[in-house]
Amino acid sequence: MQGAGDPAGPSDKAVSVTVLLTQALRADDRQLLEKCFAISNDKVVKSTVQQLAPQDVARLLQVAVQRLQSSPKRGRQIATWLRAILLHHTAYLMSAPGMFSLRPYLYVVKCTLLLQGS
């Protein structure tokens, strides 16, 4: 079993952020989402996103892009989350039924990451 003491397993912080992020996404809790987006540690963000259920990843993508569009100055902060989404879930986002509506979001993500130099 992978745990916090196992280098291959998620950290305690990533596990707790995953729980908070899942709750925030499902309840559309803006304050809790902002607390999650404030986390910028690459390892925590990647581990958190990797643990999300596919339906939560789709919602996270939508929310992240909406935040980016409403406040472009947050590009660097949101780019960390967008990179993690693409790293771990691109195949799902491009192939799952009903995900066609997310393609405009993926275009915004691509442009943002290009501008960020990723």
Judged by DSSP in three states, 70 sits in helix
Return the domain boundaries, the chain: 12-116
Per-residue pLDDT tens for 75-107?
888 989 988 998 898 888 778 777 667 677 777
111 Rama class: left (phi>0) / alpha (psi -120 to 50) / beta: alpha
For residue 2, is pLDDT > 60?
no
d(CA 75, CA 73): 5
Convert the pLDDT of each residue in 30-67 to its tens digit.
999 999 999 999 999 999 999 999 889 989 988 998 89
Q: Using CA atoms, how far apart are residues 83 and 118, in angstroms rounded to an integer?
A: 8
Q: What is the Cα–Cα distance from 59 to 9, expressed in whole angstroms?
A: 25
Mean pLDDT over 11-34 rounds to 92
User: Look-up: residue for tokens 């509506």?
Assistant: 101
Per-residue model confidence (pLDDT) at position 68:
84
